[in-house]
Amino acid sequence: MAEATLTHDAFGSTADSSDLLFLDIDGVLHPVGVDYSFSSRFFSHLPRLEALLREFESVDVIISSDWRLAESIEQLQRYFSADIQHRIIGATPQIAPCVAVHHRRQLEIQAWLDGNGRSDAEWVALDDWPSSFEAGFARLVLTDPERAFDQDSFQELRSHFLRFAAGR
């Protein structure tokens, strides 16, 4: 579990805990359906996300992607720039794949929040998998898997981060 740290948001105010972004990877940080063996599109939208994270320093990242099942947090951190790596603070637990559940990612996020004493935290999920969340779920920024984290998703996520900052 990551320790809450004193952070500064985009407006320079401080907080004793971070806001949270639950991050999917495929369909978010790069489009799906592309042969990545020789492609520069792999993680092609990561610079856009990192720019937003640099603007809002109070936001830490929890990996909710299935990538968390194959790679450790330390391995996942290496995909990010050096100044962002320490803000990748964890990964959601996996609900047993043999258990049929609706809204799987949403439940895994809630399990992480409850398990880390962060149930009252401000958070948002960035994902391309709508069926894994309740319909119309207000804490979800949904990307188009073929376009990934485009300018529209960037603006929507930024508005969530602005709301977090305004609530301080």
- CATH number (domain holding residue 159): 3.40.50.1000
The average confidence (pLDDT) of the chain is 87
Judge whether 6 lies within some domain: no
As a whole number of angstroms, the distance between CA 11 and CA 28 comes to 27
Q: Is the pLDDT of residue 80 over 90?
A: yes
Q: Are 3 and 118 in contact (CB under 8 A)?
A: no
Judge whether 8 lies within some domain: no
Residue 41 pLDDT? 67
Comparison of pLDDT for 36 and 100, the residue scoring more: 100
Q: What is the mean pLDDT of residues 14-19?
A: 61
| Predicted confidence (pLDDT) per residue in 55-76, tens digit | 999 999 999 999 999 999 999 9
Task: State both tokens at 136.
Answer: 């119309």
∠ CA 38-146-85, nearest 5°, is 65
As a whole number of angstroms, the distance between CA 42 and CA 53 comes to 19
**Total-model pTM:** 0.87
Number of domains in the chain: 1
What's the domain range around 144?
A: 15-166
Judge whether 33 lies within some domain: yes
Judge whether 7 lies within some domain: no
Which residue in the block uniquely carries the two structure tokens 């991050």? 23
H helix intervals, 27-135: 46-55, 73-77, 82-85, 104-115
Closest Cα partner for 26 from 157, 160, 158, 147?
147
Q: Is the pLDDT of residue 8 over 50?
A: no
As a whole number of angstroms, the distance between CA 75 and CA 92 comes to 15
∠ CA 100-102-107, nearest 5°, is 100
Judge whether 10 lies within some domain: no
| Predicted confidence (pLDDT) per residue in 141-157, tens digit | 999 999 999 999 999 99
Judge whether 1 lies within some domain: no
As a whole number of angstroms, the distance between CA 22 and CA 61 comes to 6
Judge whether 9 lies within some domain: no
Q: Is the pLDDT of residue 98 over 90?
A: no
With bands split at pLDDT 50, 70 and 90, how would you rate the model's confidence at 40? low
With bands split at pLDDT 50, 70 and 90, how would you rate the model's confidence at 33? confident
As a whole number of angstroms, the distance between CA 21 and CA 125 comes to 6
